[in-house]
Amino acid sequence: MDLFHVSEDSGIRLFEPRPSSAFPDLGLVVWAIDESHLVNYLLPRDCPRVTFTPASATTAADRERFRTDGCSRVIVVATNWLARIAAATLYVYRMPDDAFELHDGSAGYWISSKPVIPVGVVAVSDVRREIAARKADLRTVAHLPTFADAVSASTLDFSIIRLRNAVL
């Protein structure tokens, strides 16, 4: 199992557990993401996004409407984030898998309640190229909240990340 943590900080030598705003009942944790979901996080941390992929229950109409053929995952951001994405350098930290326990298999979330020393780091200076290399499609829309509503009403397997940062 390959686990990762993506940051805009290049100098993390030790990940200290912190409170989770999304899951306050967890206490202090360090987060990691599995490789199959890593592409969802290859954007600046605060970038709002909607990610999706067809599931076994996805209808033909939703596959056509959301153009899911030919890519493993689709990532949609607001057009006004493109310049920040182009300027970003991300650091993908490889995490020791034996330090983590599964929190949510569907989302690829893993957690540790203890401090974690990463086992390596790779800088990603061309985010769009890295996303494409992972067979995902980066798309833009003018108004992300409206698009998020459409995806959440569909039969797609989806994730909506940091939507609170979208311009409403």
Contacts of 131 (CB under 8 A, 6+ apart): 39, 42, 75, 137, 138
For residue 122, with 0-12 CB atoms within 10 Å meaning exposed, 13-18 middle and 19 or more buried, which class applies? exposed
pLDDT, tens digit, 9 for 90 and up, residues 61-73:
999 999 998 888 9
- H-state helical runs in the chain: 60-65, 82-87, 127-133, 144-152
Instruction: Pick out the chain residues at pLDDT < 50.
Output: none
pLDDT for residue 112: 98
Identify the sign of the CA torsion 60, 108, 142, 79.
negative
The domain spans of the chain are 3-165
pLDDT for residue 168: 57
**Cα gap 114→17, rounded to integer Å:** 6
pLDDT, tens digit, 9 for 90 and up, residues 34-82:
999 999 999 999 999 999 999 999 999 999 999 998 888 999 999 999 9
Closest CA to 136 of 76, 86, 48, 90: 76
pLDDT for residue 21: 85
pLDDT for residue 131: 97
